[in-house]
């Protein structure tokens, strides 16, 4: 199964390092980031889980819940969490799904058909408050994920959901944005009374509006 942008994220019930998770209920009205790991005790993922835990206050500010996944058991997750704290100096503070039966991995298409069925791909899913999938990423085993980029995308999605704008290349929160082409100049004047810079009729640059 391939997860398409804009579709409802598949719901599931699965055990985790913090107990049983009913995914949609657990998300509630929050956004979510679900990210998978091939298995416990892998070096790159050890650093990633620690970084996600360090950044949890930043996810909290954005009303985003984070949850990991590995095909190993909750008992193994606990031992791995000890290793993460010992080597990275950071205690885990979010659940990690124990997907031993591959239920969630199969539901989200995390197992490559030509690969070892016991090893999930390293995927990321950003899910909005309406349970829609807004971003998918797949990383190679040797490359650590960039959580600053994941936060940047969430900032962009939440901003552009609220305003008729898009974010340009390398945008970060506070930079100028682009008025979407579907918005007429007349309507843009109502939304952006301080004006904008027109580089081309389809490329109108404006100061970033405030997020709610």
Using CA atoms, how far apart are residues 48 and 54, in angstroms rounded to an integer? Answer: 10
Tokens of 152: 């940047």
Using only C-alpha atoms, the chain has a radius of gyration, in whole angstroms, of 19
Which value, to the nearest 10 degrees, does the dihedral of the CA atoms of residues 54, 13, 76, 88 take? -10
Tokens 């990275």, residue located:
88
Q: Which residue of the set 21, 33, 45, 50 is catalytic?
A: 45
Spatial contact of 77 and 98, defined as CB atoms under 8 Å apart: yes
Tokens 């509630």, residue located:
28
Length of the chain: 212
Tokens 């199969």, residue located:
106
Q: Is 156 part of the annotated catalytic residue set?
A: no
Q: What is the DSSP letter of 8?
A: B
Using CA atoms, how far apart are residues 91 and 81, in angstroms rounded to an integer? Answer: 7
165: left (phi over 0), alpha (psi -120 to 50) or beta: beta
Using CA atoms, how far apart are residues 146 and 157, in angstroms rounded to an integer? Answer: 17
Residues belonging to the active site: 45
């Amino acid at each position: 199964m391939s997860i398409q942008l804009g579709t409802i994220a598949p719901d599931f019930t699965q055990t985790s390092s913090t107990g049983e998770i009913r995914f949609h209920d657990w998300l509630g009205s929050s956004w979510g980031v679900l990210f998978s790991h091939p298995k416990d005790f892998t070096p790159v993922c050890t650093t990633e889980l620690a970084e996600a835990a360090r950044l949890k206050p930043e996810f909290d500010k954005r009303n985003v819940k984070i949850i990991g996944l590995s095909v190993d058991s909750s008992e193994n997750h606990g031992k791995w969490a000890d290793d993460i704290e010992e080597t990275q100096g950071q205690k885990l503070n979010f659940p990690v799904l124990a997907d031993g039966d591959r239920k969630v991995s199969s539901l989200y298409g995390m197992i490559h058909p030509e690969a070892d069925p016991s090893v999930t791909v390293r995927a990321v899913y950003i899910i909005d408050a309406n349970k829609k999938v807004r971003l998918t990423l797949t990383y190679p085993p040797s490359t650590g994920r960039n959580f600053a980029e994941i936060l940047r995308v969430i900032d962009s999605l939440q901003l552009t959901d609220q305003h008729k704008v898009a974010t340009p290349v390398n945008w970060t929160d506070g930079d100028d944005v682009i008025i979407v082409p579907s918005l007429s100049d007349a309507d843009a004047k109502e939304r952006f009374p301080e004006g904008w810079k027109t580089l081309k009729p389809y490329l109108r640059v404006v100061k970033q509006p405030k997020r709610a």
